[in-house]
Amino acid sequence: MYTPEEILEQTAATAVVKVNKPLLTKLILGFIGGAMISLGYLAYLRVGGGLAGAAVFPVGLIVILLAGGELITGNMMAVAVGYFKKRVTLSELLQNWLVITLANIVGAIFVAYAFGVLAGTLTSGAGLKEALQVGQGKLTASFLASFFSGIGCNWFVGLAVWLSYGAKDFSGKILAIWFPVMTFVAIGFQHSVANSFLIPFMIFIGHATWVDFVSNFIPVYLGNIVGGAILISLFYTLAYKKH
């Protein structure tokens, strides 16, 4: 395991790599990232949510970090470290966040329609019941509640990414990712990309609207930024900077 100071330097270096990837690479890996998180969420709903669902959800982030993928919530932490360490410009940070966000949303909506609707995995039975129950809870939450739920989510997701950078072997990285992600899911915190799968699925089957989606996405996304870029990136940069 690397020290926190070493993880900070590795994360800053990773930020530089992320912002310099070709646009097509970002779009492909962003699509994969959105799709993998959504498939993890699909598994969560299929097993009935709860602790069992929380235990299977991390497979999405494991695939992204170990097989390849770009996820905006992880980049909110990683690229922000590069910015705070002055390795990445504000323009590069914002461009990266925009491209990866859009690609993640496309990947999430694809999974919602292709696998949630067309494959029929969530259109009947317990899966449908769980999806509607969880989704309605997200749609009825206030702006403030969704915002703070987004903060809590990405504090854990960002930590999962941070810890994975600190682990030196494959199994260590899996464990580093698994428990923080399982924790945020078990608590019920909101993830903007996961919601970009669930709420569009509800739209496709007539239980929500695109206005509902945007109204949820904005506060959760802003909360995700605070959780990743402030509570991890800024705080750790300040704590471990060389004096």
Q: Tens digit of pLDDT for each residue in 74-120? A: 999 999 999 999 999 999 999 999 999 999 999 999 999 999 999 99
pTM passes above 0.75 = yes
Per DSSP, the three-state class of 190 is coil
How buried is 65 (Cβ within 10 angstroms: 0-12 exposed, 13-18 middle, 19+ buried)? buried
Q: In Å, how far from its chain's centre is CA 230?
A: 16
CA dihedral 159, 107, 67, 232 (to 10 degrees): -10
Per DSSP, the three-state class of 78 is helix
pLDDT confidence of residue 200: 98
Nearest to 231 by CA among 242, 241, 239: 239
| HSE (side-chain half, CA atoms, 13 Å) at 37 | 32
Q: How large is the average pLDDT for residues 221-228?
A: 98
pLDDT confidence of residue 150: 98
C-beta separation of 46 from 127 below 8 A: yes
Distance from C-alpha of 170 to C-alpha of 22, rounded to nearest angstrom: 27
For residue range 114-148, list pLDDT tens digits in order. 999 999 999 999 999 999 999 999 999 999 999 99
Distance from C-alpha of 156 to C-alpha of 3, rounded to nearest angstrom: 19
Residues 6+ apart with CB under 8 A from 16: 82, 87, 88
| Token pair recorded at residue 183 | 């924790």
Distance from C-alpha of 79 to C-alpha of 90, rounded to nearest angstrom: 10
At residue 242 the predicted structure's pLDDT band, cuts being 50, 70 and 90, is confident
How buried is 168 (Cβ within 10 angstroms: 0-12 exposed, 13-18 middle, 19+ buried)? exposed
Residues 6+ apart with CB under 8 A from 54: 44, 182, 183, 185, 186
pLDDT confidence of residue 241: 82
For residue range 174-209, list pLDDT tens digits in order. 999 999 999 999 999 999 999 999 999 999 999 999
pLDDT at 243 over 60: no
For residue range 52-78, list pLDDT tens digits in order. 999 999 999 999 999 999 999 999 999
For residue range 142-173, list pLDDT tens digits in order. 999 999 999 999 999 999 999 999 999 999 99
For residue range 2-45, list pLDDT tens digits in order. 999 999 999 999 999 999 999 999 999 999 999 999 999 999 99
Distance from C-alpha of 99 to C-alpha of 83, rounded to nearest angstrom: 17
The pLDDT mean for the chain works out to: 97
Distance from C-alpha of 107 to C-alpha of 126, rounded to nearest angstrom: 24
